[in-house]
Copies of this chain bind each other. A is one copy, B any other.
Amino acid sequence: MQTQTELVVKMIVDAWNTQNKRVDKLINTLAEEQLRGETSPGRNSGIYLAGHLIAVSDGLFPILGWGEKLHPELENIFLKNSDKSGLEKPSLDELKKYWNEINAKIAEHINAMKPEDWFEKHTAVSAEDFAKEPHRNKLNLLINRTNHTSYHLGQLVYLEKK
């Protein structure tokens, strides 16, 4: 018999995995030409949004206390700057490699977490604030990041042929 805590952690981790699998499928199904295109005229390209999601996922390591980012160089290109920054982006093959690498490592960490661990504070909240706002925990961060992934997935699907 699962406890409610075990159940809820499973539900939230499942939602994270579901959204990421959808992104994964898209990235691996679309042709490079499609991914280079804009999701809507004048909006972010598929490559930029993919890089953005990869950089955000990479950010989970420090914020969840799992260690250092695997590709800190992505932050400047895909988080601090916009698609049209003129900064050189990694090739699609490199991005796919990073995506797989980061996702595999995230899955390892998730598998090693005990349900209770998810209720700890993440590193972006102070101990003082966390004492007053215990919902600002690691699990909440995963909920919010899952919605962030869904948001950009809704844009990435516009790269598919009509």
Contacts and interface: CB of A to CB of B under 8 A. Distances in A.
Contact of A154 (B5, B10, B154): B154
Number of copies: 2
A110 to B, nearest CB: 16
A76 interface: no
A25 interface: no
Contact of A143 (B2, B134, B143): B143
Interface string A123-153: 0000000000011010110011011101111
A40 interface: yes
A119 interface: yes
Interface of A: 2, 4-5, 7-8, 10-12, 14-15, 19, 39-43, 119, 134-135, 137, 139-140, 143-144, 146-148, 150-155, 158, 162
